């Protein structure tokens, strides 16, 4: 029997089990970077206006969407975020003149790269939400939560662990095989 195939089977089995474990009771975890002047203010407005929405987003306040370093997004994913949302001022309205354009340029390229890295597009979103658009904060967070829910967990930390299991699991397999041979 081919060892590879055998291992493949093992792996797939285990991943299936994992997924079941993950998905029951699992809630999407979204990290949101909101700019101080527009989107964070809009989130406050949503609060003041009691616009109830999904509790799945965790907001990190930055002064400008231009401060959002692509590293933050990758780091968030690698630490277990299922989705990342960035909120900035509308084009032309940036408190810092052009920070949001810089964000736009970076995120366009990052989006492409994430796609190549097998991370579904809907897990990453850039939104212009002005200080007056509390309603929009609600809609966007609800939408994104549902879209991510459909995609299921990304669960990179978990995956990293699984990948490293490869080392031991393959080792055992080898030694198993070798013993078998030596008998």
9 binds another protein (CB under 8 A): no
Tell me how many residues contact another protein (CB under 8 A). Answer: 93
Number of Cβ within a 10 Å radius of residue 131? 18
Selection from 173, 176, 162 nearest residue 15 by Cα? 162
In the set 13, 16, 17, 109, which binds another protein (CB under 8 A)?
109
d(CA 43, CA 49): 10
Considering only residues 28, 39, 40, 87, which one is a binding residue for another protein as defined by CB under 8 A? Answer: 40
Q: Is 138 in the site for another protein (CB under 8 A)?
A: yes
CB of 149 to another protein, least distance (A): 14
- Contact between 75 and another protein by CB under 8 A: the answer reads yes
Binding test (CB under 8 A) with another protein, winner from 13, 16, 113, 150? 113
Q: Rounded to whole angstroms, what are the CA distances from 94 to 22, 36, 86, 90, 139?
A: 40, 11, 14, 7, 22
Min dist. Cβ of residue 138 to another protein (A): 8
Taking CB under 8 A as the criterion, the residue among 9, 10, 91, 150 binding another protein is 91
3-class DSSP state of 19 = helix
Tell the smallest beta-carbon distance from residue 129 to another protein (Å): 14
Nearer to another protein, 117 or 150 (CB): 117
User: At which residue do the structure tokens 């109830």 appear?
Assistant: 52
**CB-based contacts of 113, cutoff 8 Å, min separation 6:** none
């Amino acid at each position: 029997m081919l060892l590879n195939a055998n291992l493949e089977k093992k792996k797939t089995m285990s991943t299936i089990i994992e997924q079941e474990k993950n998905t029951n009771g699992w809630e999407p975890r979204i990290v949101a970077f909101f700019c101080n002047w527009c989107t964070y203010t809009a989130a406050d407005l949503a609060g003041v206006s009691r616009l109830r929405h999904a509790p799945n987003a965790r907001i990190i306040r930055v002064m400008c969407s231009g401060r959002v370093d692509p590293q933050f997004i990758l780091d968030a994913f690698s630490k277990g975020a299922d989705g990342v949302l960035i909120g900035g001022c509308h084009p032309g309205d940036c408190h810092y003149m052009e920070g949001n354009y810089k964000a736009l340029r970076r995120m366009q390229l990052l989006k492409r790269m994430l796609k190549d890295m097998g991370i579904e597009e809907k897990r990453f979103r850039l939104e212009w939400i002005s200080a007056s658009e509390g309603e929009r904060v609600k809609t966007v967070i609800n939408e994104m939560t549902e879209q991510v829910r459909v995609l299921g967990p990304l669960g990179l930390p978990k995956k990293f662990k699984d990948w490293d299991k490869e080392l031991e699991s393959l080792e055992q397999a080898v030694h198993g095989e070798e013993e078998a041979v030596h008998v």
